[in-house]
Structure 1
Amino acid sequence: MATFERIKEASKRKGMSLQTLAEKAGLGINSIYKWKTSTPKTDALVKVAKVLDVSIDYLLGQENNTSSIKTVDITDDDVIMTFEGKEIPPEDIELMKRLLRGKSNE
């Protein structure tokens, strides 16, 4: 799997679009998409790895340990949840929490 695909997979697991990832990493909004056909600079890759909480080795395909990818904790109020690049409203997040707990009538 190429670096771009690993970044895309890891960002999906974190619940963010590639554009959001690029913004959080301090990169241009479409920078990561360019990595489909070009090699990212080391400093940019370091920033992306930090945002995704994965190692650079994982992104480069030198490590296959997907357990290094941390999942989003839906109970963490500091996490901004998104779907298809749009922020999920707080009332929908509360509904998801109730459904995940198996208590849809609270």
Structure 2
Amino acid sequence: MTTFERIKNLSKEKGFSLKQVAEKSGMSSNAIYRYNQGVKPKYDSLKAIAKTLNVSVEYLTGETSTTSKPTKVDIDDDDVIMTFEGRPIPPEDLELMKRLLRGGRNDK
């Protein structure tokens, strides 16, 4: 399986288009599609995509078959796509969750 196929499959599993993952990773909306056309992704791009999809770079490149998810994620990190049961959490619900975790306070 290629890096592109891994990214595509993970994106689909998490309910995101490749365009959404690219944009959330700080890349142009069509950047990931170029990997399917023979363009080799740069390490920094893979690192950003891996962070967005909550997997390791090694998983994306096929060096390991386990996703090795990080054990700690900052809920205020807008670069991480938060999901529940494989679907993205709507922004208004995520804000409510953040407020609840802060003890009902509205401050950031």
TM-score (norm 2): 0.64
Runs of 4+ in structure 1 displaced over 4 angstroms? none
Q: CA deviation at 1:27?
A: 0.1
CA distance in 1, matches of 2:45, 2:62: 16
Letter in 2 for 1:44: S
Instruction: Point out which structure has higher relative CO (alpha carbons under 8 A, 6+ apart).
Output: 1
Letter in 2 for 1:14: K
CA distance in 2, matches of 1:10, 1:44: 16
Equivalent pairs: percent with the same residue? 44
Q: CA deviation at 1:20?
A: 0.4
TM-score (norm 1): 0.65
- Match of 1:57? 58
Can you list the C-alpha shifts for 1:28-84, whole angstroms capped at 9, x where unaligned? 01000001111101111100000000000000001112575xx9315x9x7249xxx
- Match of 1:79? 89
RMSD: 2.6
Unmatched segments (≥5 aa) in structure 1? 82-106
Unmatched segments (≥5 aa) in structure 2? 70-81, 92-108
Change (3 A) 1:9 1:50: same
What secondary structure is seen at the aligned counterpart in 2 of 1:35?
Answer: helix
